[in-house]
Structure 1
Amino acid sequence: MATNIFVNFPTSDLERAKAFYEALGYTINPMFTDDNAACVVVLSDTIYFMVQTREFLATFTDKQIIDPATQTGATIALSQDSREDVDAIVARGLEAGGTEPRPAQDYGFMYSRDLEDPDGNNLSYLYMAPEAVEKGPEAYMAEHAADAPAQA
């Protein structure tokens, strides 16, 4: 059996959160969605975001639930097939009420943009050159030193 990944996010408005994640192109699994939580299918039934009301999420831990608008609990990084795909998904997220907390980061071998959902949960979308994945960032940058952009 494959390992499934469930990332739990707090939300103050479940309906708004569901609309945001659907605008990114993800689907909601109705079998695991109710008034307390929404199961967002991110990748082919193996990776899910469980967007939960703060009160419901608190039933799974004895620790304080952070306010993602002012604190970072985790940054979730999701790779894309191209820089254009990174820009496209961030654009959809911005149109759906998300925010971009900082400028795009261009490291030459990797391009990334952060997107915060309406609650402030951080998603980082990135594209990494296949050669950098294969050889490692240092080798890739050494081969492409002349055309590497300055870090944003």
Structure 2
Amino acid sequence: MALTSKHIFVNLHVKDVKRSMAFFTGLGFAFNMQFTDEEKAACLEIGDNMFAMLLAEPFFQSFTKKEIVDTDKHAQLTIALSTESREAVDEIVNRAVALGGKLYTDPADHGFMYQWGFQDPDGHIWEIAYMDMNALEGEDKA
């Protein structure tokens, strides 16, 4: 039997929940306040049934026996999100930098896909991409 899930919750450690909420609100995201207390955790709504739990580091530590990753030195994961246009990719990344994030990559044009990345104030890597499915249909599939 294949595993399928109706929701995804990605847990990310943050130094300051309120600061993280302000950053992502500035990017245009909303929060599910039913699972947010602004001190220990905030439930970032990424899309339909997709969430990132922004957990204060001491609270995050209660979920694992492993050491929390230092995002200045290590990448634990990257979060890739798609958007509706190339212009939206640029707008989101530029806004993230204006709100205190840092550029992570240069824009990359792969023909059918355009992407650009930033780090949030806690160093987590977000890749924003636009995929032109019509251009992909024209690609030679090996």
| TM > 0.5 | yes
- Specify the code of the residue in structure 1 equivalent to 2:74: Q
Q: Provide the rounded CA distance (Å) in 1 between the counterparts of 2:135 and 2:61.
A: 40
Aligned to 2:43: 39
C-alpha deviation, 1:69, in angstroms = 2.4
Q: Which residue of 1 aligns with 2:11?
A: 8
Q: Are 1:68 and 1:120, in contact at CA under 8 Å, matched by a contact in 2?
A: yes
Q: Which residue of the partner structure matches residue 140 of structure 2? A: 139
- Figure out how many residues of one structure are paired with residues of the other and give that number: 137
Q: TM-score, normalised by structure 1?
A: 0.83
Q: Secondary structure at the match of 2:66?
A: coil
Larger radius of gyration: 1
What TM-score, normalized to structure 2?
0.89
Q: Offset at 1:100?
A: 0.7
Separation (CA, whole Å) in 2 of partners of 1:68 and 1:132: 35
Contact 1:69 1:121 (C-alpha < 8 Å) held by counterparts: no
Q: What are the superposed Cα offsets for residues 86-125 of structure 1, whole Å, 9 maximum, x if unpaired?
A: 1111122111111112211111221100011001001100
Are 2:102 and 1:109 equivalent residues in the alignment?
no
Structure 1's consecutive aligned runs of 4 or more residues displaced over 3 angstroms after TM superposition are: none
Alignment of 1:3-152 (within 5 A): 3-34=6-37, 35-44=39-48, 46-133=49-136, 135=137, 138-139=139-140
Equivalent position amino acid for 1:139 in 2: D
Percent identical: 39
User: Is the Cα–Cα contact under 8 Å of residues 41 and 56 in structure 2 kept in the other structure?
Assistant: yes
Contact residue 30 and residue 39 of structure 1 kept, 8 A: yes
Amino acid at match of 2:140: A
Unmatched runs of 5 consecutive residues or more in structure 1: 141-152
